[in-house]
Amino acid sequence: MENIILVLSFFGAYLLFYGSILQASQNLREEDNDLDKLRAHFKEIAANAPPAPHVSNWWWLLPPIKIVLARRRNNTIKNFFAKQLDADEIFILQHYKSRVSAWATVAGGSWLLVVAAVLNAANIWLLATWVTTTTILLVTYVPIAYIIDATRSHINRDRFERITGRHHGYTKSHH
């Protein structure tokens, strides 16, 4: 019975992790059109931006000063870009950031459940360290690689549709 509980808890945690990163990728893909417009606007802004203040790497000899100077530089850049955006663009950025943060929290929590399930099984079944480490790496990177591949396919299908005007067998309601 203990083995069944271990296996079920592992698969439950794995499905929760996979499902959360899959749903995150789909939700964030919905934001693509707005983000494409923002990217184009950012390119325009960057072309007209004054040069950012340079912070020498020598400041790493005094790390707290380097961090303060780098933060000031980044704030200068952020403030310049923020002044160029209208209220709708700021809302789009804040909305996207909020979605990313929420899904990162869900995915991170579910990943911890997967790792805990693997470690629990390794402890009870006395698995070798390399087996445990390999399992954790596989359950982490296989679903991420699959979703990256699926996202690339989706992007390529969208490019095909934009270039040819055809929908490659799909209707817009399926996106």
Query: Per-residue pLDDT tens for 45-87?
Result: 888 888 888 999 999 899 999 999 999 999 999 899 889 999 9
- Quick one: how far is CA 47 from the chain centroid? 27
Q: Report pTM.
A: 0.73
Evaluate whether residue 31 is within a structural domain.
Answer: yes
d(CA 174, CA 72): 45
Which domain does 148 fall in, by range? 2-45+87-168
Evaluate whether residue 134 is within a structural domain.
Answer: yes
DSSP type of residue 34: H
Evaluate whether residue 107 is within a structural domain.
Answer: yes
Evaluate whether residue 98 is within a structural domain.
Answer: yes
Looking at residue 154, its pLDDT comes to 76
Evaluate whether residue 72 is within a structural domain.
Answer: no
Residue 164, both tokens: 């040819």
CA 5 to each of CA 2, 9, 113: distance values in angstroms, whole numbers, following the listed order: 5, 6, 14
Per residue in 112-145, pLDDT (tens digit) is 999 999 999 999 999 999 999 999 999 999 999 9
Evaluate whether residue 81 is within a structural domain.
Answer: no
Looking at residue 170, its pLDDT comes to 53
Evaluate whether residue 71 is within a structural domain.
Answer: no
Structural domains of the chain, count: 1
Evaluate whether residue 50 is within a structural domain.
Answer: no
Looking at residue 164, its pLDDT comes to 76
Closest to 12 measured CA to CA, from 121, 167, 163: 121
